[in-house]
Structure 1
Amino acid sequence: MTADTAPRWGSTLDSVVVYAQGALCHRLARGLVPPDGRVRVTGLPRTLDPGSLRARVLGAPGVRVTEARVEVEAPGADDGGAPDALRHEVERLRDAYAAAEGRRDRQLGLIAEVRGLHPVPPGRKRDDPHRRTPVDAWLELADFVDERLTALHARLAELERALLDAEHELTVAADRLDRASTDTPAAHVNTTVSALLTLAGTPDTTDSADAEVRLDLEYGVPGAVWVPAYRLTHRQGDDTGRLVLRASVAQRTGEDWTGVRIALATADLRRRTDLPRLRSVRIGRRQAAPAPSGWREPPAGLSDLFAGYAAAKPRPTPRAAAGRRAGGAPGSPAGSAAAGGAVPEDAVYGEVPPPPSVGYGGPVPPPPPEPQGFGAAPPVPGGAYGFGPAQPGAAPRAAAPSFTGAPAPAAMAPSAPAAPGRAAPPPPPPVAGPPQPSGDELDYTALVLSGPDEPGGRRGRLFPSSPYDAVAAEYRRRAEAVASLRLPGHAVRPRESAGSFDHRFDAAARADVPSDGTWHTVTVTEIPVGLRTEYLCVPSVEQTVYATLVLSNATDQALLAGPVEVTVDDEFLLTTALPTLAPGGVRRVGLGPAEGIRVTRRTNLRESTAGLRNNITVLDHHVRVELANLLARPVTVEVRERVPVASEADVRIEERAGWTAPADGAGSEQHAPGTRVRRVELPAGGTTALDGGYEIRIPAGKALVGGNRRS
C-alpha cells in the first residue's frame, strides 16, 4: 500500500486554545490500522503550520506514531460550497445592477433628447416681410414635450427605484460574501490538507484485528485573537457579586469551530522557547572555535546513490529550445550537441546549465565537470548543503534557495571577457580549510532532506526550505488580517494587560465560533469577587460625589483589563472599563455621579505675621466640607483633599488634625503627593461637616518678589 492508497480517517475538531495571536487545535481521529501502518487523516485547515503538527496515540500503549507529514491535495473542483453560491449570487446581482444602470442611462438619454425639442423659425431674408408666428404649432409642440417628459420622468423614477433596490441587494450579498466563513476554500480547485501518519506496533488487546486506534493531532494555526469582557451583577447592601468572564473571539483560520472546548491564554504562541546558547569566554592564547555539534560534511560520492534511480526513470526528450539556451543557435555545434547528443543531468530534471563565457578569441571551453565518487575534493565552506559560493572550475549546480531575494553571487557576477588571441586565465585554487557552515545550515528544525526527484546538486542533501507555498502564504495573509480588527469599546489586548505573567482561562461549556473574521462572544466562567459600594468626592476639583464599586480578587487568577457591563439590582447601569486586577488586588470601578449625595466646600484664608520681627508670613487656610445624604440607606463617603508640598526646608506647612495620608503600596491605588483622605459614615438622610486646613509659614527671605501667592 502506497501513500496514495492509504486509508483515509476522518477527524473532528475537539478543542482549541486561543492565544494572544494564533491558536493551537486538537483533532481526534479513529480507525483500524492497516498492515503497513500508513494512514491519512483528513480535515486539516489550509492555514495549518506544518512545523507544528504533532500526533499521538490515545489508549493504545502498544502503538506509536513514527512519522507525521503534511500533504496538500487537489481532488478537483467543488461548486457546491456556500461561498461559491454566494459568489455566484454576487455576480448575478452585479450583472442585474449593470443592466438596471444601463436602462436608467438610456432613459436619461431619451429625456435629454425630448428636452432638446424646441421650435426653430425658418430663416428670413433681408427683403422678406415678417411672418406671423404659428402660436398653435408652438403650443402643440410644448404640450407634446410636456406630456412626453411627464411619461419619461415617471419611467425614470421607476428605473431609479429599481436601481436602488439592485444596489441594496448587491451590497447585502457582497457583505454576506465578505463575512462568509472561510471553512470552505474560495478557490475553484478545492485544495485540502491531510496528515500522512505511519504507525508502528500492535494494540495490546485480545482481538487486535478489530481494535480501533484513536489519534490526537495537534497543530497551530494563525488568524485567531481574543479580548476579555465581563458582566458584573451586584445588589446594593451585599458584599459579594457575580462576575462572569466572557471573551470576544474572532478567527479566520479556515475552519469553523463547532462544538469545541475553548481555552483562552495570554501567552504569545510565536515566542521562541528554545534555550540560548552560552559561549564560553577564554582568557589567554587564542584557540580555534570548536565545530558545532551535530553538523558533519556530506559523504563523498553521494550522487552515485541515485544513479540507478536516474537510469530507471524515463528521461524526457530535450527540446531544441533547451539546446539553444545551452549552446546558442540551432545550427551551432553546441546547439546540435545538446539536441542530439548526451543530455546533461540538470537539463533532464528541468534545469539548464548556464551558457559558457565567450571571449574575443572565440568560445571558451566549459569548465571541467565536478568530480564524483569517493575521491572528490572537499566542499567549499558553506557548500555542504547547497549554500556558499560555487567553486571555480566546478560544474554548475542547482541554485540554493535564497531567503533575502537576492540572486546568488555566481549568477550576479558577469564573466570577464578574455583578451583577443589570449586564452582565459586559469581559475584560482580552492580555499583550503575546514568547511564553515552558515547559520541557516545549523538551523536543524528548518532543514528539509531533498528527495531523488530533485536536481543532481540537491539530491540527498539538507536545505532550508520555507514551509509555505504561495497559496498557503495567501491563506495565512487572509487569516492574519483579524489582528487588525477594531477592538470593542474599552477592550485591551491580552498581552498589554497581562504584563509579564501568562494566564489561561478554560471555558465551562463548548462553544461555536465560525471562521468569518468577526467578533463572537463566548462565556468562559464565573469568578467570585468581593464587592462593596463606596462614594468618592474631590470637592476642591468638582463638588460632585461619584459612586464606585470596590472589587477585591480573592482567586488565584488575574482579571485582565476589559469592558464590564454593570447591573445593579437587576437593572443595567452602564458599561465601563475594568482595570487589571491581580490575585489579591483591590481596585475601584466608577459608576458615575451619585445624585442623592450633595457636597459643598467652603474655604477661608487669613494672612498674618509671626516671629520676633514679624519676619514670617503665616497663611492660614481653613477648609469646611459639608455632606448631605438624601438616599434611603446609609453610605460611606471618602473625601479627598490636597495640601501643598514644600520643596524648601525653611517653608513649613502645618496641617490640622483629622485628615490622614492614603496608604500607597503594591496593588493599591496611586495618589498624588500631598493627598489627604477622610472617610465618613452618613446615615440615611443625615448630614455632616468636615473641618480641616493647613498653615503655610514663609520666612521673609523666601518671599516672592512682588508678593506671595495666596491660592
Structure 2
Amino acid sequence: MTAESTRRWGSTLDAVVVYAQGAVCRRLARGSVPPDGRVRVTGLPRTLDPGSLRARVLGSSGVRVTEARVEVEAEPVGPDAPQGLRHEVERLRDAYEAAEGRRDRQLSLIREVTALHPVPPARKREDPHRRTAVDAWLELADFVDERLTGLHTRLVELEAALRTLEHELTVASDRLARASTDARSAHVETTVCAALTLDGAGVGSGDPEVTGADAGAPEVELELEYGVPGAVWVPAYRLAHRQGDGSGRLVLRASVAQRTGEDWTGVRIALATADLRRRTDLPRLRSLRIGRRQAAPAPSGWREPPAGLADLFSSYDTAGPRPAPAGPHAVAAGGSAPGSAPGSAPGSAPGFVPSPPPPPPQAYGGAPQGFGGAPAPTGPPPVGGSYAGPPAAPMAPMARMAPPAPAAPGAPGAVAPPPPAPVPGPPQPSGAELDYAALVLSGADERGGRRGRLFPDAPFDTVATEYRRRAEAVAALPLPGRAVRPRESAGSFDHRFDATARADIPSDGTWHTVTVGEIPVGLRTEYLCAPSVEQTVYATLVLSNATDQALLAGPVEVTVDDEFLLTAALPTLAPGGVRRVGLGPAEGIRVTRRTNLHESTAGLRNNTTVLDHRVHVELANRLARPVTVEVRERVPVTSDPDVRIEERADWTAPPEGTGPDRHAPGTRVWRLDLPAGATAALDGRYEIRIPTGKALVGGNRRS
C-alpha cells in the first residue's frame, strides 16, 4: 500500500493544555475506515514530538488503533501559490535598494556639478596679462546654480520616496517577525501526518477495489494527542469590588504565548502548573532470587545476524560496479569523475570504478551491535524518546584508505587508549532499534558492514529539529509587569485551570490574554496604619479563598465601584488562605501620634530605673461610611532577665504567622470600628525597669 493510495483524513484542533513549558494538543478526525485499515491523519504541526503521539477511537464501534507513527511529506510549492508577508518583505527590500541606488546616483551628479569651476588657460612666460572674461564666469555660475537647483529638487523627491519605502519595509519586517509561524516555507511545503493502522469490526471485510459509501466501511471518530514545545503562560487577575460588600468578583486571566507552528483557533484552553518534561513513570524494582530457580529473562528482541551474510553479495561484487548516471552532475563511485577514476581495473570501460570487496564484519568482543548486528547508537537519546542519529556515511573504498603512520616514541598520543570493556550479559537494543516498522534495510551499495542489515531511520527528527529549536525560544520572552512564572509560585503542588470559553491564540510568539473564569472570593476592606513609622493610613483588601483552587501569584487590576484604582501584585493564595492586597494611602482617614516619657526610680534603695512610656493615638474618619482600622505599635523586647517590661494597655499581640504574615517581635495591635465622621483616641503604656548597675547615663530616654 503506497502513500498515494492511503486514505487521508483531515483533522481539527479541539483542545490544548498549556503547561509551565510546552503544551499537549488534542485533535479530532472522522472518516470511513478503508478495507486495509490504513489511514493518514493530516494537519499536524512541524514541531510535534514524535514520541508523544497517542491515538484512540472514540465510541464503541469495535475499531481500535493498532499502530501509530509520524510521517513527513514535502513537496515544492508551485509558482501559482499565493505569496505572503515574506514575499512582500523581499519586494520592499528590492525596491528600497533600488531607491537607495537612485539617491546615490543623484548625489554623485550633484557632486560633479558642484565641482564645475572656471579654469583659465595656461599662460606662457612671454605672453602679456589677459583680462578676465567676467561674462563667461557669470554664465558658468548661472548654469551651475540652475543645474544644482533642479538636481536638489529631484534629490528631495528621491529622499522622500526612500523614507517612505524604508518605513514600509520596517513595518513589513515587523509584521513578518510577529506573524504566525503556521505558514509554509517559501519554496517547500512540509506536511506532517499520523499514519494509523486500524483493526476491528468491519475492517478488512470489504472489497479493496470498492470505494466510497458503497463499501459499507464503518465511520469512526479518532482522537489524536501529541506534545509540542514553545508554549508558556503566566496568570493575571481582575478584581471588581464595591465598597461595603463582603464579596467581590475575581476574574482569572492568563497571558499565553505560543510558537508551536500552528494557530490555536477556537480551541478549549486549559492551563496547568505541572512540568511537562518531568518523568512520571514508576521505577522498576528488580527482585533478587537466591537459589537455582531463576526467572526467565525477558526477550530483548535482538538476534544474531544470519551466518554467511557477507557471502550474500559476492555475486553482486563479481558483476562489477554500477554504471555512472548520465548528466552534468554525474559522479562515479568514490567521488571521482567518470573515466578518470584512479586505480581502474585493466580493460574496464570508461566511467566504471571497480568496487573493492566488502570488509569483514567486525566483532566487539560479544558486545551488542544493535538489531541484526548493527552498531548500537551511543550517547543519550534525543527528546522524544527515540534515537534519531544521522545515518552513517558509506565507508570510502579500501584502496584509498592508508594505514595510520606509527607514532614516534615519546610523541604525544603514542600510546593508544585501550578498547572499552565489553558489556556483560545479552545485548540491550534501544527503543529505536526495536521499532521494526521504522527499520530500513541497507542495500548492496552500503559499506562498513551495513549491507543487508537493518538500521533505524528517523528523517522526521532531522527535519523538525530546527522548528523545535525556534519554538523553544518563546520561553525567553520578557514577562509582563508583576508576572510570576507558574512553577515559581505554585510551590509543591500542581493544579489545572480550565477556561470556560474557547479562545484563539496565533502562533506568533507574543503574549495574548485569555479569560479563564471567575473565582468567588471573600473580600473585606480594612485600613492599616503604623503611626510610629509613618502617620498615614493605608487601605487594604483582605482576600479569603474558600474554593479548592489555588490562586497563583500575579498582577491584579483592582476596580472599586466601577473605577480602576491600581494594579497590584497578588501573592499566592492556597485553598482556605487569607492574604492582604495593598491599595495605597487612604486620604479620608487621619492619624496622629504623641508620646511621653517619664523617668523615675523605684525599689528599696532606688536601685531600679523606671522608664514610663505613654503613647497617645488619635483617629479621625472623614469618610461617609464606617471603617475598620488596625493600628500597630511595638514595645521593646529584651533577652536580659534582669530587665523587665511591663505593659499597661488594652492592645493585643497578633497571632504568630509564617512568611509574609509574620509580625516583628514586640508587635501590638489595636482593632476598632470607626463610624462615619467619628473620632477615637487610643492610649498605650509600657514601663521598662532597668537595674541601676545596667542603666546607661543619658542613653535610656529613647521613645
TM bucket, shorter chain: 0.7 to 0.9
1:145 and 1:300 mapped to 2: Cα distance? 91
Residue range with higher mean Cα deviation, 609-618 or 597-606: 609-618
Alignment TM-score, normalising by the size of structure 2: 0.81
CA separation of 1:128/1:7 partners in 2, compared to 1, >3 Å: closer, same or farther? same
Other-structure match for 2:66: 66
* 1:331 counterpart (339, 343, 346): 343
Residue range with higher mean Cα deviation, 474-483 or 695-704: 695-704
Aligned residues between the structures: 655
**1:133 CA displacement:** 6.5
1:264 and 1:443 mapped to 2: Cα distance? 34
**1:247 CA displacement:** 1.1
Other-structure match for 2:581: 589
User: 1:181 corresponds to which letter in structure 2?
Assistant: S
1:200 and 1:707 mapped to 2: Cα distance? 92
Matched, 1:89 2:88: yes
Contact 2:242 2:560 in 1 (8 A): yes
Other-structure match for 2:441: 452
Other-structure match for 2:334: 322
Contact 2:12 2:27 in 1 (8 A): yes
2:646 and 2:104 mapped to 1: Cα distance? 85
Contact 2:642 2:691 in 1 (8 A): yes
* 1:256 counterpart (241, 251, 263): 263
Contact 1:596 1:629 in 2 (8 A): yes
Matched, 1:550 2:536: no
Match of 2:653, SS state, is coil
Contact 1:229 1:248 in 2 (8 A): yes
**1:115 CA displacement:** 3.9
1:539 and 1:303 mapped to 2: Cα distance? 95
**1:67 CA displacement:** 0.5
**1:276 CA displacement:** 2.9
Contact 1:202 1:208 in 2 (8 A): no
**1:703 CA displacement:** 4.2
* 2:615 counterpart (620, 623, 633): 623
> Unaligned regions of 5+ residues in structure 1, if any?
346-352, 354-368, 372-376, 388-396, 420-428
1:60 and 1:24 mapped to 2: Cα distance? 25
Matched, 1:598 2:585: no
Contact 2:45 2:262 in 1 (8 A): yes
Contact 1:585 1:668 in 2 (8 A): no
Other-structure match for 1:14: 14
* 1:214 counterpart (208, 218, 221): 221
Other-structure match for 1:233: 240
Match of 1:168, SS state, is helix
1:94 and 1:54 mapped to 2: Cα distance? 45
Pairing of 1:490-509 with structure 2 (within 5 A) = 490-509=482-501
Other-structure match for 1:298: 303
Q: Residues 5-56 of structure 1, C-alpha deviation per residue, up to 9 Å, x if partnerless?
A: 2110111111111111111111111111111111111111111100000010
2:533 and 2:124 mapped to 1: Cα distance? 92
**1:104 CA displacement:** 2.4
**1:100 CA displacement:** 2.0
Other-structure match for 2:386: none
2:125 and 2:674 mapped to 1: Cα distance? 108
**1:563 CA displacement:** 1.2
2:649 and 2:548 mapped to 1: Cα distance? 40
1:109 and 1:539 mapped to 2: Cα distance? 75
* 1:532 counterpart (504, 507, 524): 524
Match of 2:189, SS state, is coil
Other-structure match for 1:390: none
User: 1:606 corresponds to which letter in structure 2?
Assistant: H
2:455 and 2:668 mapped to 1: Cα distance? 71
Q: Residues 417-446 of structure 1, C-alpha deviation per residue, up to 9 Å, x if partnerless?
A: 599xxxxxxxxx9999873478xx476478
Other-structure match for 2:281: 274
> Unaligned regions of 5+ residues in structure 2, if any?
206-213, 325-330, 382-388, 409-417
**1:101 CA displacement:** 1.8
Contact 1:604 1:621 in 2 (8 A): yes
2:122 and 2:310 mapped to 1: Cα distance? 102
CA separation of 1:116/1:37 partners in 2, compared to 1, >3 Å: closer, same or farther? same
Q: Residues 31-87 of structure 1, C-alpha deviation per residue, up to 9 Å, x if partnerless?
A: 1111111111111111110000001011134111111111000133156777x4211
CA separation of 1:194/1:315 partners in 2, compared to 1, >3 Å: closer, same or farther? farther
Q: Residues 104-147 of structure 1, C-alpha deviation per residue, up to 9 Å, x if partnerless?
A: 22333333344444566777899998877766666665555555
Residue range with higher mean Cα deviation, 61-70 or 109-118: 109-118
**1:632 CA displacement:** 0.9
Tell me how large the CA RMSD over aligned residues is: 4.5
Residue range with higher mean Cα deviation, 266-275 or 637-646: 637-646
Match of 1:267, SS state, is coil
1:662 and 1:249 mapped to 2: Cα distance? 41
Pairing of 1:265-414 with structure 2 (within 5 A) = 265-278=272-285, 293=298, 295=300, 298-299=303-304, 301=306, 316-317=322-323, 321-322=333-334, 330-331=342-343, 344=357, 369-370=360-361, 380-384=366-370, 400=377
Q: Residues 294-327 of structure 1, C-alpha deviation per residue, up to 9 Å, x if partnerless?
A: 547523527859969x98xx994587543989xx
CA separation of 1:323/1:110 partners in 2, compared to 1, >3 Å: closer, same or farther? closer
Match of 1:167, SS state, is helix
CA separation of 1:467/1:324 partners in 2, compared to 1, >3 Å: closer, same or farther? closer
Other-structure match for 1:471: 463
Match of 2:181, SS state, is coil
Contact 1:247 1:521 in 2 (8 A): yes
Q: Residues 567-611 of structure 1, C-alpha deviation per residue, up to 9 Å, x if partnerless?
A: 111111111111111111111111111111112222223333333
Residue range with higher mean Cα deviation, 101-110 or 266-275: 101-110
1:228 and 1:303 mapped to 2: Cα distance? 65
Contact 1:61 1:203 in 2 (8 A): no
Matched, 1:659 2:671: no
Other-structure match for 2:384: none
2:544 and 2:569 mapped to 1: Cα distance? 16
Contact 1:329 1:335 in 2 (8 A): no
Other-structure match for 2:513: 521
1:402 and 1:150 mapped to 2: Cα distance? 73
**1:230 CA displacement:** 1.1
User: 2:303 corresponds to which letter in structure 1?
Assistant: P
Contact 1:11 1:42 in 2 (8 A): yes
CA separation of 1:185/1:575 partners in 2, compared to 1, >3 Å: closer, same or farther? same
CA separation of 1:575/1:37 partners in 2, compared to 1, >3 Å: closer, same or farther? same
CA separation of 1:299/1:613 partners in 2, compared to 1, >3 Å: closer, same or farther? same
**1:510 CA displacement:** 1.1
Other-structure match for 2:249: 242
User: 2:154 corresponds to which letter in structure 1?
Assistant: R
Other-structure match for 2:107: 108
Other-structure match for 1:201: 200
Contact 2:264 2:506 in 1 (8 A): yes
CA separation of 1:189/1:208 partners in 2, compared to 1, >3 Å: closer, same or farther? closer
Other-structure match for 2:155: 156
**1:695 CA displacement:** 2.5
Contact 2:527 2:627 in 1 (8 A): yes
2:223 and 2:453 mapped to 1: Cα distance? 32
Q: Residues 452-494 of structure 1, C-alpha deviation per residue, up to 9 Å, x if partnerless?
A: 237654866676x878533311100111111111111111111
1:646 and 1:104 mapped to 2: Cα distance? 82
Match of 1:451, SS state, is strand
1:623 and 1:89 mapped to 2: Cα distance? 75
**1:565 CA displacement:** 1.3
1:341 and 1:136 mapped to 2: Cα distance? 89
Contact 1:620 1:695 in 2 (8 A): yes
CA separation of 1:432/1:476 partners in 2, compared to 1, >3 Å: closer, same or farther? closer
Other-structure match for 1:38: 38
